[in-house]
Structure 1
Amino acid sequence: MVQMAKSIPNRTKRPFVLAAVMLVMFIGAVEATIVATAMPAIIGDLGGFAHYSWVFSAYLLMNTITVLIYGKLSDLYGRKPILTIGVGIFLIGSFLCGLADSMEQLIIFRLIQGIGAGAVMPIATTIVGDIYTGEERAHVQGYLSSVWGISAIMGPAVGGLLVEYISWRWVFWVSIPLGLLSIIGVWLFLHETIEKKKPEIDYVGASLLTVAISSLMIILVEGGVRFSWFSPQVITLVIIAVSAFLLFILQEKRATEPMVPLEIWKLRPILIANLVSFTTGLMLIGISSFLPAYVQGVMEKSATIAGFALTAMSIGWPLASTAAGKLIIKIGYRSTSFIGGIFLVVGGGLFVTIVPSAGPIGAALSSFCVGVGMGLTSTSFIVLIQGSVDWKQRGITTATNMFMRNLGNTVGAALLGGILNGQILRYFAEHGGKTGQNLTLDSTNMLLTEEQRAGLSESVKILLQEGLSHSLHSVYIAVLMFGIISFFLVLLLPKKNKAVA
């Protein structure tokens, strides 16, 4: 097992490590907003609106699966080498994504990118937990959260400018030099003293989890669209997913070094924090994935304006996270999370009531409220769970929380993407008449660029826009429901938590 000597933080140059960690977190944070902003342009160039959700699902699938593996490996081998491997794979995937000539290629390259991305957030966050004391972490989280604010402003803005004036391909390439610089900083300024014993990696558990999540994702994306819900294909996938998950639980109970130590789930604060991270992950992907399509396709605004609407959520997040660091000390984890839960419900409600006439400002206000809720809850949870375990379990515990949010993102991208596709097809069939019979999911591509919109007849454009608006409304109802569930889960947090430094 890897252990870190107590004297190591004194040898580590903490301000420089923090800067390097913030930079590596930036490339992970900016990826979400910059790609979402560019997606309408990518679809307009490569086509394949039916595969829209797969671009996000492929990335999130591998991110979700590998985050636990990286977390465990970082506890075994140390943070630096595992972070380096993960970032390296992420940058290779980013380079290949920029070379994609079809949606199928892009999805494959996003899988590669996602394999590396699993290391970025959890290990970077764990490093901060290693080099700062429990009392310092609440304040330092404000600095880390500023990354989201910077990425919120730069990501959509830079993404929109690249799409409009250069090429969407640079959306992926822009992270490469930043990733290299961050790794150099970590190796120069972070010092680890580790004692290595022969590790026993839970390959069986990792494989079973991969099968379970992959099967679930296919069900959610294709169920009701390509396959009927009671088709042999869906039934078979359900059996595979349930069986793999049950076998995964059995494997974790008997494994010497389980991928997910089940005992950490017995700690109530960690259990509640992980469940809320899952439900807020569902909300997050529902907004970040589909809001740009609404602003561009229904409101007929540019990619830059769509990016602005999405930016508001990421601005609210760091502002709230900074405030959360102070609130946690004054009023505690539970009260801080409670306030965050209220904002999640309010933001979800605003999305349900949004109409095209509200314009980008209405969309931005809704995003901002959700961002505030995310900032208050996520910061409270990270500080809470890192203080609930010692160094030996801090990597996997932090990774487990990230895993639950990523799992929420993965399930959300698939589930909400499936809802969107199914509702669009149903709307065309019920309201389109003969015109609707000739429309497919890919017909929606024509709404996402000004040139193609101009070539549509008024009746077809209205049908497409009303179909997209109606379908996204269903998605936002689901987002609100997840916000309500998150709020009630927060109420189950213990009033007092006994933490370790």
Structure 2
Amino acid sequence: MTKKRETNVRIVTICVFIATFMTAIEGTIISTAMPTIVGSLKGINIMNWVISIYLLTNAMMTPIYGKLADKIGRKPVFMVGILIFIIGSALSGISQNMIQLIIFRAIQGIGAGSIVPVSLTIIADLYPIEKRANILGLNSAAWGIASIVGPLAGGFIVDYVGWHWIFLINVPIGLVLMLLFWIYMIEDDFEIDKGPVDYLGSVILVVMLMSLLYGFQTISDGFSFITIISFASFFLALYLFIRTEKRVPDPIISLDLFKNKTYVIVNLIAALISGFLMGVEVYIPMWMQGVAGTTATIGGIVLAPMSVIWMFGSFLGGKIMNKFNNRQIILMGLLPILMGGIFLVLVTETTPYSTFLIFSAIFGVGFGLTMTILTVLAQSTVESHHMGVATSIFTLSRTVGQTIMISAFGLVLNSTMDKGLVAKESLGANKGMMNKLINPHTANELPSELIGDLRNILSGSIHNVFLVGVCLVVIALVLNQFQKKVSLK
């Protein structure tokens, strides 16, 4: 009798980790290479779209891939996503101008949109709930490692190989992953849903998300006519989407999910905490470089403890899941984040570097514990046939939270900074000087008599950003109290 083939859990898990890391580092490795890419392809006025378009298309496709993973299986959706990502990477690596690069990065983002949500769904399929937190912790570590390794690897590749290989290196890695996944991921028992696909709902969903995320992208530069049009398009698309999903037999996103109070609150908390995480990752290095006067490398390393200890927080979540309910565990995770946020509001220019490292580690415990338990909750509080969609919506909630809050933080920073500069206008202070201040390579070009005032303006502006971040954590704490108590045994 022929032995039935089964999934090789270890190899598939490693493939999931590598795929997650590959997409995570794609968002960080390019930051170091951008000056070289702009110098090679020209087009400095549209350079931001090289990063933004990747995030936009990634977010737009996430819920669609989640639904497909529930209908036709995790394996084909995951492999198609990697294939599209490989094609986008190869085309990006041979781009001849900035327009081409932006288009090809959009393709790359479309492929990447399948990898994170389907990876989390595969982990949920392979591991029982008591082991899942540990695996999710290791998977989350890929993002932390990517945030540290990405800029360093980007600099090395640009200096010694060429910027094209920032994208081309994904091709051989992706092909190996596809081969391993094809051989070792077995889904023979998956029941394929042959029902009609909600094409209209999918199209409206893409328009809705594109309008929302693009609208918030434009806010950081101030409200404009394009911003108004974007948000008007979003609300119109939202109305049409809800109307469509109520009528089709198998909607792309089941509106019944939003009747689940715990699931809704979990997604709201994830959006808030992911938004604050963006503030931590962007504005602590800015403080270190612009206010404390450190180098870019030293400013980035301050977040290393958070990335490393994040895994510990996830493992801790796995250990205590059987002892506490969901509200208690999330509270345990939010309190260290709140403590770290209050510290950031109170820091001064003379706060020692070592203190930042300590609180970076405290953030790691809080974020690791909170995000892991929220992921487990998002998957375990819905029916199994909705797991792919539920996981993708959870991933989307985090992305939307990050997009909205990074725009809000930019508004807070710029408005506070502008007020401070007006007060010092008589001394010759201007916005250009602030740009020089946050760049360690140009800070020494500023008049020495103005550096103290400029640092005060910058520190006050960043303090306001951190204050908004603390408010997000407080709202998350309040929302957590409205959750229904759920045992995670």
TM normalised by structure 2 equals 0.85
Residue 249 of structure 2 corresponds to: 256
Asked whether the equivalents of residues 219 and 407 of structure 2 are also in contact (C-alpha less than 8 Å), the reply is no
Task: Give the secondary structure class of the aligned counterpart of 1:355.
Answer: coil
Distance of 2:354 and 2:154 partners within structure 1: 19
Matched, 1:393 2:389: no
Going from structure 1 to structure 2, the CA distance change for 1:354 and 1:87 (only over 3 Å counts) comes to farther
Residue 212 of structure 2 corresponds to: 216
Q: Which of 336, 347, 358 is residue 354 of structure 1 equivalent to?
A: 347
Going from structure 1 to structure 2, the CA distance change for 1:493 and 1:162 (only over 3 Å counts) comes to farther
Going from structure 1 to structure 2, the CA distance change for 1:417 and 1:174 (only over 3 Å counts) comes to farther
* AA aligned opposite 2:235: V
Residue 337 of structure 1 corresponds to: 330
Shift of 1:191: 0.6
Q: Which of 447, 452, 455 is residue 445 of structure 2 equivalent to?
A: 455
Residue 197 of structure 2 corresponds to: 201
Task: Give the secondary structure class of the aligned counterpart of 2:177.
Answer: helix
Q: Which of 79, 83, 89 is residue 88 of structure 1 equivalent to?
A: 83
Matched, 1:274 2:267: yes
* AA aligned opposite 1:74: A
Shift of 1:301: 2.5
* AA aligned opposite 1:212: M
Residue 187 of structure 1 corresponds to: 182
Matched, 1:470 2:463: no
Distance of 1:466 and 1:52 partners within structure 2: 30
* AA aligned opposite 1:341: L
Going from structure 1 to structure 2, the CA distance change for 1:181 and 1:457 (only over 3 Å counts) comes to farther
Q: Give the root-mean-square deviation of aligned CA atoms.
A: 3.6
Going from structure 1 to structure 2, the CA distance change for 1:305 and 1:370 (only over 3 Å counts) comes to same
Matched, 1:128 2:136: no
Distance of 1:356 and 1:205 partners within structure 2: 52
* AA aligned opposite 2:460: H
- Tell me which of the two structures has the higher relative contact order, counting C-alpha pairs closer than 8 angstroms and 6 or more residues apart: 1
Shift of 1:342: 0.7
Shift of 1:90: 3.0
Work out the percentage of aligned pairs sharing the same amino acid: 34
Going from structure 1 to structure 2, the CA distance change for 1:222 and 1:494 (only over 3 Å counts) comes to same
Matched, 1:75 2:65: no
Distance of 2:52 and 2:477 partners within structure 1: 26
Asked whether the equivalents of residues 42 and 168 of structure 1 are also in contact (C-alpha less than 8 Å), the reply is yes
Q: Which of 216, 231, 237 is residue 238 of structure 1 equivalent to?
A: 231
Going from structure 1 to structure 2, the CA distance change for 1:350 and 1:73 (only over 3 Å counts) comes to same
Distance of 1:469 and 1:43 partners within structure 2: 30
* AA aligned opposite 2:231: V
Distance of 1:338 and 1:301 partners within structure 2: 34
Distance of 1:347 and 1:73 partners within structure 2: 39
Residue 293 of structure 1 corresponds to: 286
Asked whether the equivalents of residues 221 and 418 of structure 1 are also in contact (C-alpha less than 8 Å), the reply is no
Matched, 1:420 2:413: yes
Matched, 1:375 2:368: yes
Going from structure 1 to structure 2, the CA distance change for 1:258 and 1:49 (only over 3 Å counts) comes to same
* AA aligned opposite 1:245: L
Asked whether the equivalents of residues 65 and 206 of structure 1 are also in contact (C-alpha less than 8 Å), the reply is no
Asked whether the equivalents of residues 156 and 307 of structure 1 are also in contact (C-alpha less than 8 Å), the reply is no
Task: Give the secondary structure class of the aligned counterpart of 1:331.
Answer: coil
Residue 469 of structure 2 corresponds to: 479
Unaligned stretches of 5+ residues in structure 1: 1-6
Asked whether the equivalents of residues 295 and 306 of structure 1 are also in contact (C-alpha less than 8 Å), the reply is yes
Distance of 2:444 and 2:40 partners within structure 1: 16
Asked whether the equivalents of residues 72 and 193 of structure 2 are also in contact (C-alpha less than 8 Å), the reply is no
Asked whether the equivalents of residues 83 and 120 of structure 1 are also in contact (C-alpha less than 8 Å), the reply is yes
Going from structure 1 to structure 2, the CA distance change for 1:189 and 1:102 (only over 3 Å counts) comes to same
Distance of 1:448 and 1:170 partners within structure 2: 29
Asked whether the equivalents of residues 267 and 378 of structure 2 are also in contact (C-alpha less than 8 Å), the reply is no
Distance of 1:456 and 1:42 partners within structure 2: 27
Asked whether the equivalents of residues 130 and 318 of structure 2 are also in contact (C-alpha less than 8 Å), the reply is no
Q: Which of 19, 22, 39 is residue 14 of structure 2 equivalent to?
A: 19
Shift of 1:408: 0.9
Range that drifts further, 291-300 or 338-347: 291-300
Going from structure 1 to structure 2, the CA distance change for 1:263 and 1:105 (only over 3 Å counts) comes to same
Range that drifts further, 25-34 or 344-353: 25-34
Going from structure 1 to structure 2, the CA distance change for 1:206 and 1:404 (only over 3 Å counts) comes to same
Matched, 1:491 2:476: no
Distance of 1:465 and 1:41 partners within structure 2: 29
Shift of 1:466: 4.4
Asked whether the equivalents of residues 33 and 288 of structure 1 are also in contact (C-alpha less than 8 Å), the reply is no
Distance of 1:34 and 1:270 partners within structure 2: 34
Shift of 1:141: 3.1
TM normalised by structure 1 equals 0.83
Unaligned stretches of 5+ residues in structure 2: none
Distance of 1:372 and 1:70 partners within structure 2: 31
Going from structure 1 to structure 2, the CA distance change for 1:216 and 1:382 (only over 3 Å counts) comes to closer
Going from structure 1 to structure 2, the CA distance change for 1:431 and 1:100 (only over 3 Å counts) comes to farther
* AA aligned opposite 2:65: Y
Asked whether the equivalents of residues 37 and 292 of structure 1 are also in contact (C-alpha less than 8 Å), the reply is no
* AA aligned opposite 2:264: L
Residue 112 of structure 2 corresponds to: 117
Q: Deviations over 1:263-305 (max 9, x none)?
A: 1222232122111111112112222234333333333333322
Shift of 1:241: 2.3
Going from structure 1 to structure 2, the CA distance change for 1:169 and 1:401 (only over 3 Å counts) comes to same
Q: Which of 36, 53, 58 is residue 58 of structure 1 equivalent to?
A: 53
Going from structure 1 to structure 2, the CA distance change for 1:107 and 1:479 (only over 3 Å counts) comes to farther
Asked whether the equivalents of residues 12 and 185 of structure 2 are also in contact (C-alpha less than 8 Å), the reply is yes
Q: How many residues align?
A: 486
Distance of 2:96 and 2:462 partners within structure 1: 28
